[in-house]
Chain A
Amino acid sequence: MLEVELPSRQHLCEVSIKIETPQMPPKPQSPPDPAASGPSAAPAPTLAASDVSKAFGSVAVLKSITLSFQPGEIHAIVGENGAGKTTFVKILAGMIEPTSGEIFFRGNRIEMATLRGMESLGVRFIHQELNLADDLTVLENIFLGREVAKGPFLDEATMRERGRKVLAQVGADVDLDAKVKDLRVSEKQLIEIARAIAQRATALILDEPTSVLTQREADRLFQIIQQFAESGAAIIYISHRLEEVKRLAHCITVLRDGHLIATRKAGEISPSEIVRLMVGRSLQDLFPKKNYNRDEKYVLEVRNLSVRGYVTNASFGLKKGEILGFAGLIGAGRTELFEGIMGLRSVSSGMIFKNGKRIKLSDYPKALRALCAVYLPEDRKGKGLVVSFDAQTNYSLLGLERFGAYFVNQRAERAAFKKAIERLQIKVPDRFMPVSRLSGGNQQKVVLAKVLATEPEIIVFDEPTRGIDVGTKAQIYHLIAAMAAEGRSCVVISSELLEIIGLCHRVIVMRASRIVASLEGDAIAEDEIMMYATGLKQAHSPFDQ
């Protein structure tokens, strides 16, 4: 079904090594005109999408996207979580089928793009979750599915030779025979790219590749991406980190709520303008005013809490009516810290005080009672909702005993749920519909209703707005602010700095399992937080002991 001829295997490995002799001009003289949508525009773009839409069940996530990617060009796609970035590139990579629209490769229309088909054209997708076979060696992974063979047998020597070259090229200092599961995440990422090079990718799609990397590792990655682009590959780069996008990309496309908002040359757009396009409104409208009646009383104090492998000696306090942000890179230990406090995960050492009284660490049901605290999990579908249950059953699952010790008073349950629906403006078209059929925003509101129904004094929101539309986000921000204004103490764990900065009265930064900073007032700024989060700035925090 694919009309394009495959690159021959011989060709495949020879070219990829020589970056000095690119087949394409290193940087296209004229970056693509965003208005020229069709594949007919010359030169033929490596990949192009025409009028692509996608709906999951009833939820439309992409609406008529037309976009093309030129050889040698680094094209960044930015947008908030839930804007449709990942869905869009998955369609390009043939991993999911668009509801409507067409995909073109070098000007040829591709019918029924499949992952295999697109891979054979050299379109490689590097996931947020890396896609390597853990139990195979580095070498086996680099050539997985594209093994070099001599007759019926694998040509081990040739593959080794080429494998070594691509590893050197991406600057990965790993043993070809090491098992992938023994590598660090950053190394795995390099292996993915080495694989793309070895298999002579024509287009490379990277989905938030730096979310798990340190600054230095990220810099190295950027270099490799640039080199790879210069060799003529089209690079599609998804990120919501604007600084790195500005630095790396030739061209930036902004998606919002599934719509293509704008495509601009990187030099012609300022970060603040990107933010405005991403969010679709000014920040003042998105976040409620920060009103904080200073109350120095600590509701919750945590001392020297450790969770094996995730958190080392964390100490902090949470005040009454406060919104306390927890910033840091993914894997810094923020989620695990709070899972430890709530008894959802076993803790190796540490003490917890509620209103000055020591509380024994135990399991979640006990923590719920003793701390009067709830935890909103970051993973809505994996931890927050039983997706096959209806909204009401999900709503009442936490603290079901309030409707009866043994028998569930279903009338009281129904009444309470109706109230929650009204308060949070949850749209539930059919009482018995499983929540999997609700939109992301409504699902998140059901989880919120679920945790708030227990009338907690302390609420931990872990990534409260992941994967939902901007309108619902603003609603959730106002809800959190209202909770704090009622005198409840809120913790907001978030990887979206905008959210942390816009919402929180105080921000704690974690890095590599430790609390490294506590910021207040004007110190709550993107640069400052990122410096601590990445380790560029190491303060003597009052919490170090």
Chain B
Amino acid sequence: MNSAQAVETKSDQRTQTGSNWRTVAKWAQTLGPLIALLLLVVIGVLLNPNFLSWNNLSNVLTRSAFIGIISVGGTFVIVTGQIDLSVGAMAAFIASLMIIVMNRLAQSGWPLPTALIAGMIGGLVVGLLAGVVNGLLATRGRIDSFIVTLGTMGIFRSLVTFMANGGTLTLDSGVREAYRPVFYDSWLNVPIPVWVLAIVVVIGTIVLTKTRFGRYCRAVGSNAEVAHYSAIRVSHIRVIAFVVQGFCVALATLLYVPRLGSASSSTGVLWELEAITAVVVGGTALRGGSGRVWGSIVGALILTLIGNILNLTSIISVYLNGAVQGIIILGAALLQRSSRTR
């Protein structure tokens, strides 16, 4: 017993010296995205004094709202160790259905507000169902979520093309007028989409950090086997994560439809990659197990800001937007990696 105890005290000491290093690494990893965001803001201000104007800022926030809201759902999916590639196509699919439903209802004489609300509820329900389908295929069907959502992505995308008959679905002008305020109006000088984003972030953060479900998401993503042996219904958690994602996509789409007023097969293209990028840049591990909702929003803001800054300046061509984003992703990945090395 004595020798064993001696060993343990010794190792305790060593652990403490080791933990200093860890705190530094952890600190860098935790605040990395925020520092990057700050850096971008400073660059933005240096390049253009108008950068910090409320107009520009609310513009950036509003543009970030779509990807931001989707990436909150994406955080849950990725934390549980899965991935959803179908979100862009799903958004286009939901937008098409909403446009069709709203137009039909309005044409058949429903009062406009009722038609709009019915369309929105329909959109949310479809989003939830799409999440259920993805989730069940990935769990009951025992197909890797990457493959599942690759498949449903194709299905959603081609359904959009089919419904639009190869062209574009457009909201009737009356309906669009009535729907416009959802995107363009402000409350307390803050655009509606930004409010929605804020609410989603707060709720998402609370769910991920304070609830049993959030804890289980992390456990399942870290080690599904351990979760199974901890009496956690792993499949349920995974399905629910997809449902959360589906809901977030629908919510983002509700805000998107009035902005463009139309949907076609090119709607939402590459949104899935932007959402995943936002999540990963925000510090959520792509292999699952740990993540944070606020990080994903910071990630979404970083992506939007890059585009915004390139637009405001002529030093780097706007056409290089993708390249700069790519560098940011790689930087984030490097940062994550360095804090993981033993």
Report A's interface with B, CB cutoff 8 A.
57-60, 257-259, 344, 363-365, 368, 375, 377, 382-389, 393, 397-401, 404-408, 410, 427, 429-430, 433, 437, 439, 441-442, 450, 469-472, 474
In the complex the two chains form, is A383's CB within 8 Å of B229's CB? yes
In chain B, positions 209-237 with a C-beta closer than 8 Å to chain A are 210-213, 215-216, 218-219, 222-223, 225-233
In Å, the complex CA distance between A472 and B7 comes to 12
In the complex the two chains form, is B229's CB within 8 Å of A437's CB? no
Determine how close the nearest CB of chain A comes to the CB of B342; give it in whole angstroms: 7
In the complex the two chains form, is A384's CB within 8 Å of B3's CB? no
In the complex the two chains form, is B4's CB within 8 Å of A408's CB? no
Enumerate chain A residues within 8 angstroms of B212, measured Cβ to Cβ.
400-401, 404-408
- B11 near A: Cβ within 8 Å? yes
Enumerate chain B residues within 8 angstroms of A57, measured Cβ to Cβ.
14-15, 18, 342
Across the interface, name the chain B residue whose C-beta is closest to A376: B229
User: Can you add 13 more A-B contacts, CB < 8 Å, to A386-B222, A397-B219, A405-B212?
Assistant: A60-B11, A257-B7, A258-B7, A384-B226, A386-B219, A397-B227, A400-B216, A401-B212, A407-B211, A408-B212, A410-B210, A427-B8, A441-B8
Chain B contact residues (Cβ within 8 angstroms of A): what range?
A: 35 or more
Identify which of A397, A430, A470 contacts B215 (C-beta below 8 A).
Answer: A397
In Å, the complex CA distance between A382 and B223 comes to 8
Identify which of B1, B5, B16, B226 contacts A430 (C-beta below 8 A).
Answer: B16
In Å, the complex CA distance between A427 and B233 comes to 30
Q: Which of B3, B216, B230 has the most CB of A within 10 A?
A: B230
In the complex the two chains form, is A406's CB within 8 Å of B211's CB? yes
Determine how close the nearest CB of chain B comes to the CB of A455; give it in whole angstroms: 14
Enumerate chain B residues within 8 angstroms of A410, measured Cβ to Cβ.
210
Determine how close the nearest CB of chain B comes to the CB of A146; give it in whole angstroms: 33
Enumerate chain B residues within 8 angstroms of A387, measured Cβ to Cβ.
222-223
Identify which of B213, B225, B231, B342 contacts A383 (C-beta below 8 A).
Answer: B225
- B10 near A: Cβ within 8 Å? yes
In the complex the two chains form, is A389's CB within 8 Å of B211's CB? no
Enumerate chain A residues within 8 angstroms of B12, measured Cβ to Cβ.
58, 427, 429
- B290 near A: Cβ within 8 Å? yes
In the complex the two chains form, is A433's CB within 8 Å of B15's CB? yes
- B258 near A: Cβ within 8 Å? no
Across the interface, name the chain A residue whose C-beta is closest to B16: A429
In the complex the two chains form, is B222's CB within 8 Å of A389's CB? yes
In the complex the two chains form, is B4's CB within 8 Å of A472's CB? yes
- B295 near A: Cβ within 8 Å? no
Determine how close the nearest CB of chain A comes to the CB of B239; give it in whole angstroms: 15
| CB pairs A–B below 8 angstroms (26 shown) | A57-B342, A58-B15, A58-B18, A60-B7, A344-B229, A364-B229, A375-B229, A383-B228, A384-B229, A386-B218, A389-B218, A389-B222, A393-B215, A397-B215, A397-B230, A398-B231, A401-B212, A405-B212, A406-B211, A406-B213, A407-B210, A408-B212, A408-B215, A429-B15, A437-B18, A474-B1
In Å, the complex CA distance between A365 and B237 comes to 14
Enumerate chain B residues within 8 angstroms of A450, measured Cβ to Cβ.
230
- B32 near A: Cβ within 8 Å? no
- B204 near A: Cβ within 8 Å? no
Determine how close the nearest CB of chain B comes to the CB of A377; give it in whole angstroms: 5
Indicate whether A363 sits within 8 Å of B11 (C-beta atoms), given known contacts A58-B18, A470-B4: no
In the complex the two chains form, is B19's CB within 8 Å of A430's CB? yes
Indicate whether A385 sits within 8 Å of B15 (C-beta atoms), given known contacts A257-B7, A406-B211, A408-B210: no
Q: Which of B4, B216, B229, B233 has the most CB of A within 10 A?
A: B229
Enumerate chain A residues within 8 angstroms of B232, measured Cβ to Cβ.
365, 397
